[in-house]
Structure 1
Amino acid sequence: MLSVRDLWRRHRRKVFISVGVLGSGYLLYKLYGAHRRRLDALERELAIQRESEELMKVQLSQIMQAHFENIQTISDVMTLPHAMHNLSCRVAEELDLSQLLERLLQGKGQPSTLTQSEKLNLWERLKILSFTRMALSVWATTMLSLYTKVQVNILGRHLYIDTARRFESSSTTESGDLVDKEDQQKFLGTVDFLCQHGMPPLISDMEAATQEALKGKQLSHFFNSTALHETIMQILIIFMSQGSPHSWIKYVMPEDSATSRIDDPAPSDVTEFEQLMTEARAVLLSAEFGSILEICMKVVVNAVVEQMGAKFRGGSIAMGLPLARVLPQVAQMCPLLLEEPSKNQFIRIIKCIPEVEPFFTRLYANMPSAY
């Protein structure tokens, strides 16, 4: 018994230390195990979250694509065809050449009905109106084609942002349109502003530009493809430079449509329609859109002149014709520029211009402040 006590006295410090070390080791082991289990649980949680986020991204992309394609279809099938039909009717009504042609034909068949001065005045009027209608058709077709695409991409971006916000707030069960349907239709309907309100000043200003460009060009002067191209482009350049910079925007949308500020994207007193119009105006006023519009007009004019050279081989404009003989060919090209989109080769040409698609890709991807 004494030996055990002696042994305990001699070694109890070592025993305490050993027990302490073993106890600490066991405690650390248990703590590590618990920590490891927590880490494993956290990793499983993160993996589930990643899978959920990936699924949400796929769903978001699918929903966004579906809404975007729906608006694209509305634009291609309804908005642009409707706008082009109205434009064609309005141009035919406001810039009707039939009465001038009838009077000239009447004077040709019955020389006594018109004096030489009257004939000359009629030919001069026919010259101005023919080129006015040509230049206006080029500009309006190009503008409507681009403006409807601006609308589609702005709406598409709004749909994407609204859908993303809904996913972030986990309120995916909410019903209703992401962008108010009434505001959406009202916004798309503004494409008719050109025909309903912008046409009178557009015709007046385009005619003034035409008179300036045709000054000194007599009916007996020879016109070839180069001269025709230069004349149409000169009319468009004079027209686009009239007044203050971007003054042409007044033909496309109401001047009071910029009711909200770009640097305050969601003020409480601004409707979604007003915000959409503000963004559309910002795009149309941007230098990049101006560059795209200029490129498109040049390409369309090239196509018009090229087609005129191929269409009227009996009296080829490529070789040169008196201006008086060019006027009927100019008049016959205008309805082709204003054909419905499914038949309109010039609208197809605009869509295929290399600079156009990247512009609208950037528009869809960026907020209006980028413009």
Structure 2
Amino acid sequence: MLASARGFWARHRRKILVSLGVAGAGYAAYRLYDAHRAQLLRVEQLRAREEQAADDLVKNQLQEHFEKVQSICDTTTLPLAMHQLCENITSQLDISKLTDKLRQGKAESRALTPKEKYDTWEEIKIKSFTKTVSSMWAMTLLSLYTRVQVTILGRHLYLDFARATHGAQLQEESDTFSENGHKSFLTTADYLPTGKINAYIMHMQHAATEVLKEKQLKDLMSTDEVLQTVLQILDLFMNLCEDNSWIKYLVPDDASVQAQLMAVSTSGFDDSSLLNDFRKLEQLMAETRVVLAREDNFLV
């Protein structure tokens, strides 16, 4: 038996050694491959954690920036616009001179003729309703406008993040509209209180005059009747604004003024980043018009 085994070994020793060598080399290669694969897996897991951490950091930065924009809108832009709006409406529709005129006519019997007294009371009636309805609707429009602005800015920030593959690219894309550009967009809320308030009041007063011409001074009005009168004035005002022309009171037709302010730096030289902000501003304003024109924005 032993002799037979020795004979087998002598005859096949070379093959056995080669087979053992191949098996050993295969096992060593497998172990090396397995170790390399485990190392690659650890590297990929580490990279995934780093990318997740970077994404979380960018998300937090975006959230902080969006909250900052919303805070600017809520604490600065909207209150300032509302203050300017109230001041201008009060100034344009002041009835103190008319009431003084009536007091003077009461003190001096010949100061006013009956027709002058009637016309003065009619003017007070129209201005009072115009002031009330103009204030209510303008505040509603301003609130709607600023909410649309914040929503659009938030959408652009989200799209920038969604398109980005890493933080550096996101930062590069986000820089296409700077923080100053965001503020410039928000400041367009001043357009109604400062730029279009006279035309807005004139339009509203025309609607009030048409509705109130059927209302006599001697007629008593209940609370419900006053509310219905206000709604009629608003309804007529919006009907007179054909093809959503009421948007022109909120959004400038063009941004030529902003272009001049943003395209030239304080040193007097062209600034390409400001020009880029202007192009982005025009895009945001165009999107604002589209959103405001949606039928579900009408509250009347």
Q: Does the alignment pair 1:201 with 2:199?
A: yes
Q: Give distance in 1, aligned partners of 2:218 and 2:180.
A: 56
- Report how far residue 90 of structure 1 moved: 0.8
Q: In percent, how many aligned pairs have the same letter?
A: 36
In structure 2, the CA distance between the partners of 1:208 and 1:55, relative to structure 1 (3 Å rule), is same
Q: Tell whether the 8 Å contact from 1:159 to 1:178 is kept in structure 2 after alignment.
A: no
Pairwise CA distance, 1:130: 0.9
- 1:51 is aligned to 49
Look up the equivalent residue of 1:26 and give its one-letter code.
Answer: G
Q: CA deviation at 1:132?
A: 0.9
Alignment of 1:123-142 (within 5 A): 123-142=121-140
Q: Deviations over 1:142-179 (max 9, x none)?
A: 111222222233334444555676771536898x9673
Partner of 2:77: 79
Per-residue CA deviation, residues 3-62 of structure 1 (Å, 9 max, x unaligned), is 89x9359953x973x556544433432332233223212221221122112211221122
More helix by share: 2
Correspondence list, 1:278-317, <5 A: 278-288=286-296, 290-291=297-298, 294=299
Pair 1:178–1:65, CA change in 2 (3 A): farther
In terms of Rg, which structure is larger?
2
- Contact 1:213 1:234 survives alignment (8 Å): yes
C-alpha change, 1:125 and 1:173, in structure 2 (3 Å) is: closer
Q: Is the 8 A contact 1:154 1:280 kept in 2?
A: yes
Q: How far apart are the structure 2 equivalents of 1:171 and 1:255?
A: 34
Size of the aligned set, in residue pairs, is 277
Distance in 2, matches of 1:9 and 1:129, equals 120
Q: Secondary structure at the match of 2:254?
A: coil
Q: Distance in 1 between matches of 2:19 and 2:107?
A: 125
Q: What do the CA deviations read for 1:233-288 (whole angstroms, capped 9, x no partner)?
A: 11112111223231100101112359xxxxxxxxx897222122222222212234
Identify if the C-alpha distance between structure 1 residues 171 and 254 changes in structure 2 by more than 3 Å, giving closer, same or farther.
closer
Counterparts of 2:24 and 2:10, CA distance in 1: 26
Q: Bigger relative contact order, structure 1 or 2, given CA contacts below 8 A and separation 6+? A: 1
2:148 to 147, 150, 166: 150
- Cα separation, 2, equivalents of 1:102 and 1:269: 51
SS of alignment partner, residue 37 of structure 1: helix
